[in-house]
Amino acid sequence: MRVIAGAARGVRLRTLPGTDITRPTVDRVKEGMFSALQFLLPGARVLDLFAGSGQLGIEALSRGADFCVFIDENRGAVRIVEENLRAAGLAQRAEVHCANAQGFLAGTAEQFDILLLDPPYRHGTLQALLPSLGRVMAPGGVALCESERETVMPQRAGELVLKKQYRYGTVLVSRYEKERPKGEIEA
């Protein structure tokens, strides 16, 4: 697994052994995800929930995001994220927390432009978290949610609206956007 574009392009990233804790996003899916975000990344504040190895947030930083907060509840995964950030030379633009995703979302006052979610499959985690994401998203913010291809994602969840879905083999990536307040003009 490696960073595929940007300032840290080509840097090899470590992951925890096995697939019970982390499930790395394949390059084809990662490239598609970041193609969808390319114009939003410069200067963005990013939240990588269920960070695993940190590859999604590191890719965002490598491609121009200003800052990324990484959340994972597994201490081993948190150590791997910290190692990968150092290897990519991006640690100074990141925070890494060992925390439960729901607890972090409920307790933070931060606002993010981009949310990256790749939770464990088959647990209904995305559907449970979606309604609470709007609270931490800036107006016009985007959440990319990775799931199994057959997952049925809601059209609306709180302040979020499903805008597009991308299919890559067995993977489904759902793009949600936070609605802007009525009368607000997009920059």
- Superfamily name with CATH number, domain 28-178: Vaccinia Virus protein VP39 (3.40.50.150)
pLDDT digits (tens, 9 = 90+) for 97-108: 999 999 999 999
Whether the model pTM is above 0.75: yes
pLDDT tens string 130-183: 999 999 999 989 999 999 999 899 999 989 999 999 998 889 999 999 977 665
Cα distance between residue 68 and residue 45, in whole Å:
6
Please give the pLDDT value at position 48.
97
Amino acid letter at 27?
A: D
> How do the domains of the chain map onto residue ranges?
28-178
Chain mean pLDDT for the chain = 90
- How far is residue 21's CA from residue 90's CA, in Å, rounded to a whole number? 23
